[in-house]
Amino acid sequence: MNAGKAATKRKVPWKRPAAAARRKGLMLQTCPDCGYVQYPQQEICRRCLGGSPAPKEQPAGGKLQAATELHASIDEFLRDYLPLRIGNIQLDCGPVVIAYLEESCTARTRRVRVTASTDRRGRPVLLASAEK
């Protein structure tokens, strides 16, 4: 049996974004005063304490720093989808995010592209796919 083919048929907890959404950058809070990009959102800029960081499109590429596989969750919704692969990604624009790793991410993947989507409950999630 082809292990790669079996992996692509796995049930996943997220909705696959349309191709157009995948080509866009990520909308991340950016400080208009100092340009700092932060995630998660906060009311003030973490760097200069400026008061009005606003969403701005940022490049979606980044470096996969670490990956792991979840085999247990306290979230009942996720239990049907285990095991799930997640990773820490250092975005090129600064922040480190945690994202679900899509099938295209292998043990050799170093560069990824992060896309915003929702899970099947409608909650926002980040997905990482191997950069081509």
Closest CA to 62 of 32, 11, 28: 28
The closest alpha carbon to 60, from 16, 95, 102, 26, belongs to 26
- Is 36 near Zn ion (CB under 5 A)? yes
Residue 51 binds Zn ion, judged by CB under 5 A: no
Instruction: Count the site residues for Zn ion by CB under 5 A.
Output: 8
Residue 33, interface with Zn ion (CB under 5 A)? Answer: yes
50 forms part of the interface with Zn ion (CB under 5 A): yes
Alpha-carbon span 86 to 92, nearest angstrom: 18
Residue among 7, 34, 66, 98 that touches Zn ion (CB under 5 A): 34
Q: Should residue 45 be labelled a site residue for Zn ion when binding is judged by CB under 5 A?
A: yes
> Please, which residue, 42 or 106, has the CB nearer to Zn ion?
42
Q: What are phi and psi of 47, to 5 degrees?
A: -85, -55
